[in-house]
Amino acid sequence: MEKKRIAILGSTGSIGTQALQVIQENAENFEVEVLAAYNNFELLIQQAIQFQPNAVVIGNEQYYPQVKAALASHDIKVFAGLKAIEQIVEMETIDVVLASIVGYAGLASTINAIKHKKTIALANKETLVVAGELVTKLALENAVNIYPVDSEHSAIFQCLAGEWENKIEKIYLTASGGPFRGKNRDFLSSVKKEQALKHPNWTMGAKITIDSASLMNKGLEVIEAKWLFNLQPVQIDVIVHPQSIVHSLVQFNDGSLKAQMGLPDMKLPIQYAFSYPKRLGNTFPRFNFMDYPQLTFEKADMEVFQNLGLAYEAMHKGGNMPCLLNAANEVAVEAFLKDKIGFLQMSDLVRSTMTKASFVKQPNYEQYIQSDIEARKIAADLLIHNNF
């Protein structure tokens, strides 16, 4: 396999650090070309010294002097600012861009990478949630492959290998249920962020962990799946699977089901996105059936976890509604993490913002940007006046 040069956008986050472990284990197949992070300049410096990329970008410009000074004796270019993260993907020496910047912030760099015909390993689900129609059209026009890194979407992708001509009847995205599986709304009304940040199976950043606890993460994945696999909303279902061994399933038009299984470890879908269509060997822990004598499945409770229902509602409505949903949710999660609102109030804030914001049926890129700004402003105003 020809060696691939990887740009990791969001290198200090959970996905980025695990991607570097994958590259380290497969040094004969991959090398780091670019590292980019926003705030964690100390870890970015450590990563740069270890992996010796061509260039690094620190998004928060106030940390540029520290990064520049620390890497002065190394042959590494140093850039700063959000615009630099967006532009760095244009480098001709990049083969694959790992888009792992969390949230709406990852959209601009991913779009620019597609415009410059870079293969995308997509860990930033918000890119397709916010602007799925625009992004998938752009990828088609530029003949760019988007390989999913989310464990659920990677599972669907793996199940479809060799089945591209066969009709999908339905897909099932599995969810662990998070730390509050089986709890009622009375219980959820008093939970604190410390409880919500304790995911039973996965280690992730704070934003994604809270989204998982509220099932918004699964809602965003439902919307992402629509665009990745060209599906209708009725073809996408969510099923709770507490053990997180079956990562998702595809049901074909003859009724056959295919599932992808394995231990909950993000390094496998990262490696698969980097190496596709080849499968590379590794030393990751192996699944043992005797450790999991029972695999169980439950219906997702959208009455208790209303964020999942809101995501389906946004997907059915289409246009800029998923963009509004995402922006409001980012504001809501930040407010919850700062103890400004309760767990259940996150859904209330998202719902109110979706109701009040301007709906655009067929938005262009500029309208997506304006929709994001408007939704954040509405959500912030609702928070200030406690009116949601």
Question: For residue 388, what pLDDT is reported?
Answer: 81
Residues of the chain under the 70 pLDDT cut: 202-203
Summarize pLDDT for 289-327 with one digit per residue, the tens: 999 999 999 999 999 999 999 999 999 999 999 999 999
Summarize pLDDT for 37-48 with one digit per residue, the tens: 999 999 999 999
H or E stretch covering 308: helix 306-317
Question: For residue 103, what pLDDT is reported?
Answer: 84
Question: For residue 134, what pLDDT is reported?
Answer: 95
The number of angstroms, rounded, from the C-alpha of 229 to the middle of its chain's C-alpha atoms is: 16
Cα–Cα distance, 364 to 370 (Å, whole number): 10
pTM: 0.93
Domain span(s) for CATH 1.10.1740.10 in the chain: 154-264+289-385
Fold of 154-264+289-385: Rna Polymerase Sigma Factor; Chain: A (1.10.1740)
Q: Identify whether the C-beta of residue 74 lies closer than 8 Å to the C-beta of residue 32.
A: no
Name the residue among 10, 14, 56 with its Cα closest to residue 33. Answer: 56
Question: For residue 205, what pLDDT is reported?
Answer: 80
Buried b (16+ CB within 10 A) or exposed e, 35-66: bbbbebbebbbebbeebebbbbbbbeeebbee
- What CATH number labels 4-148? 3.40.50.720
Domain span(s) for CATH 3.40.50.720 in the chain: 4-148
